[in-house]
Structure 1
């Protein structure tokens, strides 16, 4: 499981170094082979080990092709998917089109989400957290969340 928030930088060539604490796990899960795509609803990128991506891609591909929500998800998530592999320095290249989608410039937040990571521009990340706080104050807490014990 990938956990934690990491403040990172991308180099001038658009490469991101994977934090040391995740390198061995990524190597064990997928021998460094990963997939990078856009998030269908947020201005961030999703980074999956190939093994977990293939499971997700299979589920998405099985959705009804004429359903507008399925079509949107396929076009955004699968259509923008890019294979990437950790290089010898444990870096991945983030293509310019994906960096542009997520407004990623130099400073980046890498947030572990269990089986994958979210990659955010640092400024956008902080705005998103503030926005979530504001929105959650306007919504009733779902029963599933209120029953969760921390």
Structure 2
């Protein structure tokens, strides 16, 4: 499971180093093979181990192909998916099209989400984080979520 928030830098070639804490897991369990794609609704990137990505891709492929929401999801999520592999110093390359989509420049936030990571431009992350806090104060917490927090 991937957990934690990490402040990282993107080098001049568009590479980012995976935090040491996650390197062994990615290399040992997933052979360093990952998939990077855009999020279909927000301006950030998703990074999945290849095995978990394949499970997600199969679920999406099983959806009705003529449904407009399925088409949109496939075109955005699967259409932008890029295979990547950790290099010898545990970096992945972020293609320029994906960097552009997520407005990534030099500083990013990598947030562990259990089975995957989110990669955010640092400024966008802080704006989104503040926005979520504001919105969550305006809406009552669902009972299922409140029970988890006990």
- TM-score normalised per structure 1: 0.97
Shift of 1:140: 2.0
Query: Can you give the 5+ residue segments of structure 1 that lack an aligned partner in the other structure?
Result: none
Asked if 1:101 is matched to 2:110, the reply is no
Residue pairs, 1:1-16, within 5 angstroms: 1-16=1-16
Shift of 1:134: 1.4
Shift of 1:141: 1.3
* Structure 1 residue ranges, 4+ long, deviating more than 6 angstroms after superposition: none
Asked if 1:85 is matched to 2:103, the reply is no
Q: Is the partner of 1:140 in helix, strand or coil?
A: coil
Partner of 1:44: 44
- TM-score normalised per structure 2: 0.97
Asked if 1:127 is matched to 2:127, the reply is yes
Query: Can you give the 5+ residue segments of structure 2 that lack an aligned partner in the other structure?
Result: none
Shift of 1:30: 1.3
Partner of 2:140: 140
The 10-residue stretch of structure 1 (51-60 or 130-139) with the greater mean CA deviation from structure 2:
130-139
Give the Cα–Cα distance (whole angstroms) in 2 for the partners of residues 21 and 15 of structure 1.
Answer: 18
Give the Cα–Cα distance (whole angstroms) in 1 for the partners of residues 84 and 127 of structure 2.
Answer: 28
| Aligned alpha-carbon RMSD (Å) | 0.8
Shift of 1:124: 0.3
